[in-house]
Structure 1
Amino acid sequence: MTRKPALAALALLASTAAHAQVRPHVSVEATTDERRRGISWSDGEGALAASAQLDFSNGFDLGVRALSTRGDPRHGGADAVFEPTIGYSQTVNGLRLDAFATGHVFTGGTGPLDYYEGGAGASYTLGPAEAGVEARYAPSQDAIGGSNLYLGLRGRVGVPVTPFSFTASAGRSSGDVNDPVRAARLRPDNTYYDWSFGVQHATGPLVLTVEYTGTDIDNTRALSPFAARNNAGDRIAARAALSF
């Protein structure tokens, strides 16, 4: 990440935090495969994650997430990634609006791997149902071989009087390519679509999820070393998350 935007964002957050109440959150997760936008970030293997976040009463939040990436070739053989995030959200007439900036800092890998992105989203809740849209953009960077734009839709429907809910999402990844080898990290088949369907069971701080993910990526193509084991086909993964 570039230093000046990050320092400016931290200064803004610090100046507003002095007049805001703070709520801390901590969570730990275990998954059979860390899937993001339909592709694996843990070489198709199980992964562990932990996160901490401070929510300020003025709408800002500051957090970091750590994930084991299991030496995934997608990320240069990195063992883990740390993801600091600064966000802001407000709810207006039932419509929640979000904006954020996040970095992806990898450890134990080779070559330029770190990159940053920003995004915004909106979601609306009506009874047990929620629907949302989001956009994420990573400007052109050497580590990802160009730029990356993700546009997505998501939805959730809770089953009344039960701890179950159903989720679904769909998205499109695109962007400019300066280095096709490194661009395959986030887009193994250049522009592609992804989708998911899942079921969740929430009891207190524990959330259990089983989710199917898929993409239209052509797995028969010769891919770069950053996607040597593509791990972008249809997959069912399970996740357990415990929040405090």
Structure 2
Amino acid sequence: MTMTHKALWAAAASMLAPIVAAHPATAQDRPAIGVELDSDENRRGLSWSGGRVSPSADIFATRGALEASGRIVALRESDRHGGAGLVGDLTLGASTLVGPVTLRGRVTGHLFGGAGFDADYIELGSAASYTLGPVQLNAGADYAPSQDAIGGDNLYLHAGAQAGVPGTPWTVLAGVGHSTGQTDNAARAARLRPGGDYSDWRIGVEHVAGPVTLGLDYVGTDVSERAASAFPLADARHSGDRLVGRVRFSF
């Protein structure tokens, strides 16, 4: 059964409420703001900007256990999202510590501007991370309940690690993920799962110097271009292996 966006936000609020209630309110930290330029807006191994350069801007703020963020990204009239020129990702979440492990829950609304159909959808997410010295391990799941905009539901399972190189400004990163779900409308489901269920991977490096971060990632998927090519929203040309460069300025 397809859930309405109002019902999804209500479900997310009930999920986050116990975490927020467990933490006393504290003064809000100064919001972190960033601007970024990527050679491709790549998510889960799929290009969201048609393989073209994509600028973005974001903001992240916390108050006690509560976290909120917003990000606006240029999609360059992406075929994957029906010709959308941009997407706004609005996230509300909460975090807590359980021993040495940080747990997070969140709800994210993806709002598309300029799409040729109602492309907006909502995801619920959870993640756990553990830090030991310069190494951080993480794992999580993001679930988009059944919605018309994505032709069914979608579950993304992921795990990753990153490690700072001692005595240097360099960090190495790696991650893997798998997307699956139930398909009600194959043409719409191809947005997030072109050609059906698939796996993705990422290996990258980052260099941080003050407010500037430079990054280079190798990303790829096992998406079959032949299977994906049957659906325009799959944008089959932009689901293969590629290098993605990025520069970010934080203030």
Matching residue of 1:75: 81
Identity of aligned residues (%): 40
What is the identity, as a one-letter code, of the residue corresponding to 1:45? R
Structure 1 position 215 matched with structure 2 position 218: no
Matching residue of 1:30: 37
Matching residue of 2:182: 176
**1:213 Cα deviation (Å)?**
0.3
Once residues 131 and 207 of structure 2 are traced to their aligned partners in structure 1, the CA distance between those partners, rounded to angstroms, is 19
> For residues 137 and 5 of structure 1, do their structure 2 counterparts lie closer, same or farther at Cα, with a shift above 3 Å needed?
closer
Q: How many residues align?
A: 242
2:62 corresponds, among 55, 68, 86, to: 55
**1:168 Cα deviation (Å)?**
0.3
1:240 corresponds, among 224, 236, 247, to: 247
Once residues 92 and 138 of structure 2 are traced to their aligned partners in structure 1, the CA distance between those partners, rounded to angstroms, is 20
Once residues 234 and 98 of structure 1 are traced to their aligned partners in structure 2, the CA distance between those partners, rounded to angstroms, is 30
**Bigger shift: 158-167 or 227-236?**
227-236
Matching residue of 2:169: 163
> Matches of residues 139-158 of structure 1 in structure 2 within 5 Å?
139-158=145-164
**1:30 Cα deviation (Å)?**
0.4
**1:151 Cα deviation (Å)?**
0.3
Q: Secondary structure at the match of 1:82?
A: strand
What is the identity, as a one-letter code, of the residue corresponding to 2:181? G
Once residues 172 and 225 of structure 1 are traced to their aligned partners in structure 2, the CA distance between those partners, rounded to angstroms, is 22
TM value normalised by structure 1:
0.93
Matching residue of 1:3: 6
Q: Secondary structure at the match of 1:220?
A: helix
Answer whether contact 2:225 2:236 (CA < 8 A) is retained. no
Once residues 35 and 165 of structure 2 are traced to their aligned partners in structure 1, the CA distance between those partners, rounded to angstroms, is 25
Matching residue of 2:141: 135
TM value normalised by structure 2:
0.90
Query: Gaps spanning 5+ residues in structure 1: where?
Result: none
**1:70 Cα deviation (Å)?**
0.4
Once residues 143 and 108 of structure 1 are traced to their aligned partners in structure 2, the CA distance between those partners, rounded to angstroms, is 14
Q: Deviations over 1:144-185 (max 9, x none)?
A: 011000000110011000000100000100000000011000
Answer whether contact 1:188 1:230 (CA < 8 A) is retained. no
Once residues 149 and 47 of structure 2 are traced to their aligned partners in structure 1, the CA distance between those partners, rounded to angstroms, is 18
Query: Gaps spanning 5+ residues in structure 2: where?
Result: none
Q: Deviations over 1:70-111 (max 9, x none)?
A: 000100100000111001112232211111000000001111
Matching residue of 2:125: 119
Answer whether contact 1:83 1:104 (CA < 8 A) is retained. yes
Q: Secondary structure at the match of 2:237?
A: coil
Task: Please report the RMSD computed on the Cα atoms of aligned residues, expressed in angstroms.
Answer: 2.2
Answer whether contact 2:73 2:87 (CA < 8 A) is retained. yes
Once residues 24 and 160 of structure 2 are traced to their aligned partners in structure 1, the CA distance between those partners, rounded to angstroms, is 35
> Matches of residues 99-110 of structure 1 in structure 2 within 5 Å?
99-110=105-116
Once residues 55 and 35 of structure 1 are traced to their aligned partners in structure 2, the CA distance between those partners, rounded to angstroms, is 26
> For residues 19 and 157 of structure 1, do their structure 2 counterparts lie closer, same or farther at Cα, with a shift above 3 Å needed?
closer
